[in-house]
Structure 1
Amino acid sequence: MEETGRNQQLGRLIPSLNRVLFEKIVPPSKTSAGILLPEKTNKLNSGKVVAVGPGTRDRDGKLIPVTVKEGDTVLLPEYGGTEVKLCEKEYHLFREDDLLGTLHD
């Protein structure tokens, strides 16, 4: 039931222009066997795209759509963006121009 409420809340938030809403990916702090992992200094700052805006317009008024889509994993800059709390969960909002790239398996 909580997941449904969260999805409804997220469904109400549509990012403006070329903004992307994502949930940060936090690497596990311990293994499945319960061994604590030390924090790595050069950890990857990534997130999963939850929602995207429609895009921005060029000088002629033509729509330039956002190139990432929901479910994509993106590489994020260390600083910037806006923190958004929905249903007690933390999300982040960045302009598409600020994203560093898309990660593929």
Structure 2
Amino acid sequence: MPSSFFFARLVPNRPDFPMSMTAEEQATMGAHSAFLQSQLSAGSLVVAGPVMDPKGVFGLAVFEAESMAALSALLEKDPARAIGRYEIFPMASAFARPAAK
């Protein structure tokens, strides 16, 4: 089955999350980073990182997956689900440059 690209936005449970993380939440974010690194290595993650929106920081990720259902199932395994929720949107079409060397 052909794969598609999806935009995933991780919205924290509170707007001041980056500035008010507890030690436990910092550990969760470390596990979240490890999860993303594993998806990058597996080839499903294209790019990810925090977006410093003045209205509220959020996490951005672009994934390549067979379906939205497949991506949703994958993101259920992300430890960051404990600190926020994902909004997932299919991309109608996408252009991607080859990986930088």
Which structure shows the higher helix fraction? 2
Q: TM-score, normalised by structure 1?
A: 0.27
Greater RCO, CA 8 A, separation 6+: 2
**Higher Cα Rg, which structure:** 1
